[in-house]
Every structure is written in C-alpha cells, then in structure tokens.
C-alpha cells in the first residue's frame, strides 16, 4: 500500500488564547485500543467450550442411567435371596400322638398321686421297722466226735415287736443262723406270722449242730472258750416284712445281728448280748 499524503495546512490560524490554554493544560493522550483477537482463535475457543459442554452432559446422562440400573440389580438380588413367605398351612395332629399324650398324662397323674400319698404317710404315720431281740438263751451241749467235727445244742428265745401305732406288719420269711466266729454251725426257719400295732411276739428257736466241720483253728478256739466258761456266738436273722396301712402295702427286707456271750455247757446261760436290726 502507498502512504497517504499529508493533510493540507489549515488556512485559519488558531487564536492565541486557545494556544495558551493548550500549553497550560495539555490534554491526556487517548487510551490505547486493545488488539482485537483474531477470528481463528475465537473460533477455536468456541469449539473447545462446545466440546467440554457435550462431554459433561454425556457423562451426567450416563451416570443418571447407571444409577437406576444398579438399584434395579440390587432389588433383584434381594428378591432372589429372600424367598417369598407363605402363610403356614394348618396340619391335623395324628390321633396316635393324642393317645400317647393322654396315656402319659394319666401315668404322670398316677405317679404324682402315689408320691403325695407316700409323703403324707411318712410325715403323718412315720413308719418304723420292727425290732428283734434275744432276751434269753441256753447252751446245752458242745462236744467233738473228732478233732474237726463239732456237735452242739443251742436254744434261744427271740422277741419280735412292732413299734408302729397305725401299721400292721407281717413277717413272711424268717431265717435264723448260728455262727461261731465266721463259720455257720446251725440254721433254723420260722413260720410266718402277723403283728398288730404295738404288739410283741416271743418265738422259741432250737438250733442243733450235727457233725459240723470246723477248721482246726476254729475247733481249738471253741475248746479254749468252753474251758474258760465263756462261749461267743453270733446270731444272724433275715426277715421279709410286709407293712400295711389301709389299702397301702409295701414290703422290705430286715437283717438282724446279735452277739451273744454264754457260759459253758451243760448249763450255759446268757451273760451278755448286743442286737441291731437294719434294712
């Protein structure tokens, strides 16, 4: 481009007053005009902004679409894990079960009744076992046919008493045994009998020993006691007793032990005794 020619000089000269004002108050220079951006840069910026907006909008739309899908998947998993609850169906009980339950109930009531009755009986009646004692005894004979075979004759009076006030007792089985040390030398059974409350009974028992074998040490000990005029015998009694209180009956076994000290035969008498009875 060709440079422009300078402007022509003004024909009217400026006044001295205006020139003096310009010299005293000079005008500020005009502001510098900003350099306008080129159209190419503006177009690039606009395209970048548009692309960023599109990316943000597309991501937001994807997130909004993923959230309902995840929620739907979670609900479906819950429904798979938790099966549908069905209302319980009413089932009829087997009649056999009812019969067994009734039988068990009746049996339990019977046990309770007998338990209460037994407790009342023991608290009110307070049953006691019968007593056994030997108030008198006589040693008639002791002799040896040989060093080891023994013969003897022994008689005693057994006393049975019922200490209960309201209970009857019956001795159904009675067995008496005579021992020297730990050797059985005679035995005798008694007939059954019944006792009323507070009743006593005396039974004569005759125990005979015939050719009873005794070991040598026992035979020597018996001969020594006869010579010393003190013979120690043991009586063991075994009894089966049945107690009755009205319609209630119960049975038990009794075991009696008595230690007797006698003088020597033929007129041996009872010197001392000790008896105890237990169930």
pLDDT of residue 260: 95
pLDDT of residue 278: 92
48-107 per-position pLDDT tens digit: 545 545 555 455 445 554 444 555 555 555 555 555 556 656 677 788 888 999 999 999
Q: pTM of the entire structure?
A: 0.59
Question: Contact, 212 vs 151, CB < 8 A?
Answer: yes
For residue 139, what are the β-bridge partners?
154, 268
pLDDT of residue 1: 45
Nearest to 166 by CA among 113, 120, 110: 120
Nearest to 171 by CA among 154, 196, 134, 188: 196
CB atoms within 10 A of CB 91: 6
CA distances to 7, 9, 20, 59 from 12, rounded to whole Å, are 14, 9, 17, 73
Sole residue written with tokens 């003190």? 230
Percent of the chain surpassing pLDDT 90: 45
Nearest to 229 by CA among 262, 260, 258: 262
Please give the Cα distance from 162 to 131 (Å, whole number). 7
List CB contacts of 206: < 8 A, sequence separation 6 or more: 153, 154, 155, 188
122 φ/ψ sector (left φ>0, alpha ψ -120 to 50, else beta): alpha
Percent of the chain surpassing pLDDT 70: 68
In this structure, what token pair is assigned to residue 127?
């049953």
Sole residue written with tokens 């929620």? 71
pLDDT of residue 120: 79
Please give the Cα distance from 128 to 194 (Å, whole number). 16
Please give the Cα distance from 95 to 169 (Å, whole number). 47
- The string of DSSP letters for 202-243 reads EEEEEEEEEEEE--HHHHHHHHHHHHTT-EEEEEEEEEEEEE
pLDDT of residue 2: 46
pLDDT of residue 20: 46
In this prediction, the residues of the chain whose per-residue pLDDT falls under 70 are: 1-90
């Amino acid at each position: 481009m060709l440079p422009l020619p300078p402007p022509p000089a003004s024909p009217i000269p400026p006044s001295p007053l205006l020139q003096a004002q310009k010299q005293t108050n000079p005008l500020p220079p005009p502001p510098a005009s900003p350099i306008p951006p080129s159209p190419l840069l503006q177009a690039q910026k606009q395209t970048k902004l548009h692309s960023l907006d599109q990316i943000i909008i597309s991501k937001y739309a994807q997130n909004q679409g993923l959230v309902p899908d995840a929620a739907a998947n979670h609900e479906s998993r819950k429904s798979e894990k938790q099966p549908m609850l069905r209302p319980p169906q009413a089932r009829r009980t087997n009649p056999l079960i009812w019969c067994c339950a009734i039988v068990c109930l009746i049996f339990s009531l019977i046990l309770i009744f007998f338990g209460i009755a037994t407790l009342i009986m023991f608290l009110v009646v307070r049953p006691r076992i019968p007593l056994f004692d030997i108030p008198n005894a006589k040693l008639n004979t002791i002799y040896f046919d040989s060093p080891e075979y023994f013969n003897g004759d022994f008689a005693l009076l057994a006393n049975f008493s019922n200490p209960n006030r309201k209970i009857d007792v019956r001795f159904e089985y009675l067995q008496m045994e005579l021992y020297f040390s730990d050797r059985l030398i005679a035995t005798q059974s008694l007939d059954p009998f019944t006792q009323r409350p507070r009743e006593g009974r005396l039974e004569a028992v005759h125990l005979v020993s015939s050719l009873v074998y005794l070991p040598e040490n026992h035979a020597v000990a018996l001969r020594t006691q006869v010579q010393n005029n003190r013979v120690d015998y043991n009586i063991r009694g075994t009894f089966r007793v049945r107690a009755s209180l009205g319609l209630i009956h119960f049975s038990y076994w009794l075991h009696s032990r008595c230690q007797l000290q006698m003088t020597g035969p033929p007129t041996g008498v009872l010197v001392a005794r000790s008896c105890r009875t237990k169930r």
